């Protein structure tokens, strides 16, 4: 309580830092210095920001007397002022623009549209040269196009070869702005590479551990009762949010969140994911998470890990089963309960409610809706826990989905599980037990179809740099 008499040097008061790390911004796209965020649509430093802002106040245009191709790079200029004419051109070429900038935080849609506009602007700049007659930035010479023939020629040269963004390689050897998905940021991923990554991630515990860790070493499980018990033990490890909820409760939640969501949509507009190509292109150039998928994936990490770990726990309890296989069928059945195709909402494994369309940036709405409809049909069957558990077991024991050395073994396990399912049904209250079994088996047929579709998609998704970067764990099932 006594005041410390130690002299304290006048330390600047701590800046109020947000709890999370200061979030280092990418460097200024104009000059390369530390940027302070997005200004006028482009990551830029305080200096370039102010420079650009000021450029609008000018009455006289800037003029470069060195041919107009000055290098703008703070480091290489050590201290001296960069050529303002070329600096401004670079700003504009990068898409800096005063239109559409908004005070404060952007909403998703605002942000997206701003970026897209910037994007367009940029493409324009590329061939603005002799075309756009009313590009009248006060700081740019009106006759830029006309006079600086050579300077611009070079530019045109570069730009010509790129046109509307998507062109391939350039003849002249000059740099071009590629807008294709094969971004320089993350060139095409070699499959081998992915596998390695997947293995590495997998080693961290998601993949089945050593065989020895399996529950109880006694493999004498001839009886369906025993098998069922083991399966139910595994089922006990699953913790899908809807597990102990009634349909009413589930629909209630979905309803409520749906209302919230529609309100939000009214205010901020609907979140629509861009095509992945386009996203990656923008991301490469601006480091902007325009449609928020990066955030989605990051946030989904825990979700996914939890689900994947529970998956492993479940599998460990399948008699004779020793390897993981595909996951889509399992996850689909596992999560079949939290769906509402009418309102297009769903509940995630850990209980997050979100619109179907926001669950996956890689999938078309139709596909997602197809999956959801399937789930809804499953839920209409009102699976008992035993049915649920056995079906999950069957999901992971399709021989062709198993990368194991002994597919026959897997097939055998599945056979046993199917028997157990039949056995279970025989003890059930259903009037027509055969019909019930048929219904359940029919699900697998259809599940296999959409599973095949998914598998194709999965491979594509695993190529995506954003996914690799933000949710590498997802690749483990490759």
Partner DNA sequence: CCTGGTCAGAGGTCAC
Partner DNA sequence: GTGACCTCTGACCAG
Measured CA angle at 352 (ends 347, 358), to 5 deg: 75
Using rule CB under 7 A, residue 65 touches DNA: no
Residues of this chain that interact with a copy of itself (CB under 8 A) are 3-4, 7-14, 47, 56-57, 79, 81, 99, 101-104, 108, 138, 267-272, 274, 282, 288, 290-292, 344, 357, 365
Candidates 38-46, 102-110, 191-199, 444-452; binding stretch for Zn ion (CB under 5 A): 38-46
Please state, in angstroms and as integers, the Cα–Cα distance from residue 341 to each residue in 107, 213, 338, 356, 371, following that order: 26, 41, 10, 8, 10
Using rule CB under 7 A, residue 192 touches DNA: no
**Among a copy of itself, DNA, Zn ion, none, what binds residue 3 when CB lies within 5 to 8 Å by partner kind?**
a copy of itself
Give the nearest distance from C-beta 276 to DNA in angstroms.
23
Using rule CB under 5 A, residue 140 touches Zn ion: no
Kindly tell me which of 233 and 359 has the beta carbon lying closer to a copy of itself: 359
**Among DNA, a copy of itself, Zn ion, none, what binds residue 290 when CB lies within 5 to 8 Å by partner kind?**
a copy of itself
Using rule CB under 7 A, residue 49 touches DNA: yes
Kindly tell me which of 267 and 445 has the beta carbon lying closer to a copy of itself: 267
**Among a copy of itself, Zn ion, DNA, none, what binds residue 38 when CB lies within 5 to 8 Å by partner kind?**
DNA
Give the nearest distance from C-beta 34 to a copy of itself in angstroms.
13
The residue from 39, 137, 144, 316 that contacts DNA (CB under 7 A) is 39
Is 282 in contact with 290 (CB distance < 8 Å)? Answer: yes
**Among a copy of itself, DNA, Zn ion, none, what binds residue 84 when CB lies within 5 to 8 Å by partner kind?**
DNA
Kindly tell me which of 148 and 464 has the beta carbon lying closer to a copy of itself: 464
Give the nearest distance from C-beta 297 to a copy of itself in angstroms.
16
**Among DNA, Zn ion, a copy of itself, none, what binds residue 41 when CB lies within 5 to 8 Å by partner kind?**
DNA
Q: How many residues make contact with Zn ion (CB under 5 A)? A: 12
Please state, in angstroms and as integers, the Cα–Cα distance from residue 67 to each residue in 85, 200, 277, following that order: 10, 52, 36
**Among DNA, a copy of itself, Zn ion, none, what binds residue 28 when CB lies within 5 to 8 Å by partner kind?**
Zn ion
Which positions lie near DNA, rule CB under 7 A?
8, 10-16, 18, 23, 36-41, 45-51, 53-54, 58, 60, 81-82, 84, 87, 98, 101-109, 111, 114
């Amino acid at each position: 309580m006594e005041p410390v008499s130690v002299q304290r040097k006048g330390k600047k008061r701590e800046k109020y830092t947000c709890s999370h790390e200061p979030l280092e911004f990418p460097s200024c796209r104009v000059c390369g210095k530390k940027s302070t965020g997005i200004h006028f649509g482009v990551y830029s430093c305080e200096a370039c920001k102010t420079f650009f802002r000021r450029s609008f106040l000018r009455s006289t245009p800037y003029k470069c007397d060195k041919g107009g191709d000055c290098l703008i790079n703070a480091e290489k200029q050590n201290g001296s002022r960069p050529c303002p004419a070329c600096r401004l051109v670079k700003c504009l070429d990068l898409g800096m623009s005063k239109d559409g900038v908004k005070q404060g935080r952007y909403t998703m849609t605002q942000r997206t549209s701003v970026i897209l506009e910037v994007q367009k602007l940029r493409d324009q700049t590329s061939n603005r040269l002799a075309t756009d007659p009313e590009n009248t930035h006060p700081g740019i010479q009106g006759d830029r196009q006309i006079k600086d023939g050579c300077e611009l020629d070079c530019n045109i040269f570069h730009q010509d070869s790129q046109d509307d963004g998507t062109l391939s390689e350039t003849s002249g050897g000059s740099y071009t702005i590629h807008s294709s998905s094969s971004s320089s940021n993350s060139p095409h991923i070699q499959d081998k590479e992915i596998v390695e990554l997947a293995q590495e991630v997998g080693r961290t515990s998601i993949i089945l551990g050593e065989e020895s860790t399996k529950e109880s070493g006694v493999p004498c499980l001839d009886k369906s009762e025993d098998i069922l018990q083991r399966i139910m033990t595994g089922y006990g490890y699953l913790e899908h949010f809807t597990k102990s909820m009634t349909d009413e409760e589930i629909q209630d939640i979905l309803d409520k969140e749906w209302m919230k969501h529609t309100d939000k949509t009214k205010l901020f507009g609907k979140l629509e994911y861009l095509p992945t190509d386009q996203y990656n292109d923008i991301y490469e150039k601006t480091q902007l998470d325009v449609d928020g998928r990066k955030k989605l994936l990051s946030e989904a990490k825990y979700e996914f890990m939890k689900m994947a770990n529970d998956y492993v726990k479940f599998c460990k309890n399948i008699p004779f089963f020793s390897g993981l296989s595909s996951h889509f069928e399992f996850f689909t059945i596992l999560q079949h309960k939290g769906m509402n195709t009418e309102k297009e909402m769903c509940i995630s494994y850990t209980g997050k409610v979100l619109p179907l369309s926001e669950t996956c940036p890689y999938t078309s709405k139709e596909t997602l809706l197809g999956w959801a409809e399937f789930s809804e049909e499953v839920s209409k069957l009102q699976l008992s826990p035993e049915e649920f558990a056995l079906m999950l077991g069957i999901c992971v024991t399709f021989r062709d989905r198993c990368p194991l050395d002994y597919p026959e073994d897997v097939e055998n396990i599945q056979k046993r599980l199917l028997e157990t399912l039949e056995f279970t049904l025989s003890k059930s209250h259903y009037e027509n037990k055969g019909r019930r079994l048929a219904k359940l088996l029919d699900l697998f047929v259809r599940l296999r179809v959409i599973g095949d579709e998914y598998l194709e998609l999965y491979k594509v998704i695993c190529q995506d740099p954003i996914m690799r970067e933000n949710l590498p764990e997802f690749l483990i099932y490759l």
